[in-house]
Amino acid sequence: MRKVVSGLFVSLDGAVQSPDQWQFEFDEEMGAALARTLETADTILLGGVTFTEWAGYWPTVTSGEDAGFATWINESPKYVVSSTLDSVDDWANSTLIKGDLTTAVNELKAGEGKDITVAGSPTLVRSLLELDLLDELVLLIHPVVAGEGRRKLFTDDTPMKRLQLVSAQPTSSGVIIATYRPAR
Mean pLDDT in consecutive groups of 10 residues from the start of the chain, 184 residues: 94 90 87 88 94 93 90 95 93 93 96 94 93 96 89 88 96 95 90
pLDDT of residue 91: 96
pLDDT of residue 88: 95
pLDDT of residue 43: 96
pLDDT of residue 156: 87
Question: What is d(CA 109, CA 105) in angstroms, rounded to the nearest whole number?
Answer: 6
pLDDT of residue 26: 85
Beta-strand relationship, 4-11 and 41-47: unpaired
C-beta of residue 166 within 8 angstroms of C-beta of residue 135: no
pLDDT of residue 56: 92
pLDDT of residue 14: 92
The contacts of residue 140 (CB under 8 Å, 6+ apart) are 7, 8, 9, 10, 30, 33, 175, 176, 177
- Report CA-CA distances (Å) from 108 to 34, 64, 77, 93: 22, 32, 11, 15
pLDDT of residue 20: 83
Q: What is the pTM of this model?
A: 0.91
